[in-house]
Structure 1
Amino acid sequence: MNDNDLPKYPKGAGYRDDEASRDGARKVNSDGSRKSQSDFALALVEAAGPAGIIADTIFAAPDAPFSALALCRARLSELKKLGKIAKSGERRLGLSGIAVNVWVAARYVTEQDGQGDLFGSEAA
């Protein structure tokens, strides 16, 4: 099967150069789970306000629609690429014991925050 039925990222789920990955992208694009996961993640980022939130907290939230933390992170990456959220510049300790990015709604960052990609320029 070709890739003509796969919307270009970030409008559609990202995928690697193998059929299993493309099949996964087709599934989440067609069954609505990608959109519901994105909507869920965006709602929690918005609700966190300027303090922000980490992927681990979104993944562990009640009724979270993610089967794996990696899926949660994928939706956050897509939301960032769409300009809806941004990294705050802060990092917090995640479940793995590693400091992870804190995400905020795009309205809480400015061009001076080093988030130039939200403003059509290179990130500082």
Structure 2
Amino acid sequence: MRKDIQNTDDLPRYPAGAPHRDDEASKDGARLVNRTGGRVTQCDFALAVVKAAGVRGVRANDVYTAPDSPFPDLSTCRARLSDLKKQGKIGKKGERTEGNSGVRVNLWVAAEYLPKPDNDDSSPDLFDKAA
């Protein structure tokens, strides 16, 4: 097997392991959080903060600065929020608010507060009828 496509035990594919880009720095970070269990702890913490915010949503910086935050930096916090989004546990509210740097940032909400897809089956589908 080619080395560049080999799936090693220390770098399992997502969702079993942390997501990563195809560069060594990103892979090293994924290996670290896989080995220490930090990814799971950080995801659990972020999910709890997002759920506690309810329907109003929360900024990444607010998750990062929450009491007892396990994040070493804001970029790690953002990575865990992206991880939770990929898992379908949270999503972008669809509104943005002023961030600390003056740039408008996304608000995150728990999946139960995301808009539901329009699945109204009350009107007939013209294409399921025999012609």
TM-score of the two chains, using structure 2 as the length reference: 0.78
- Alignment: residue pair count: 112
Aligned residue runs from structure 1 range 57-68, under 5 A: 57-68=62-73
Counterpart position of 1:40: 45
Where structure 2 has 5 or more consecutive residues not aligned to the other structure, the ranges are 119-131
Where structure 1 has 5 or more consecutive residues not aligned to the other structure, the ranges are 113-124
Counterpart position of 1:111: 117
Q: Tell me how far apart the structure 2 counterparts of residues 48 and 77 of structure 1 sit (CA, whole Å).
A: 17
Where 1:91 maps in the other structure, the secondary structure is strand
- 1:61-103 deviation per Cα after TM superposition (whole angstroms, max 9, x unaligned): 1111111111101000010110000111010111121111100
Q: Tell me how far apart the structure 1 counterparts of residues 15 and 60 of structure 2 sit (CA, whole Å).
A: 18
How far did 1:39 drift? 0.4
Is the 2:7–2:13 contact (alpha carbons within 8 Å) kept by the matching residues of 1? no
Bigger CA radius of gyration: 2
Q: Tell me how far apart the structure 2 counterparts of residues 101 and 13 of structure 1 sit (CA, whole Å).
A: 23
- 1:4-46 deviation per Cα after TM superposition (whole angstroms, max 9, x unaligned): 2222234421222233321221110110111111000000000
Poorly superposed stretches of 4+, deviation over 6 Å: none
The root-mean-square deviation of aligned C-alpha atoms, in Å, is 1.5
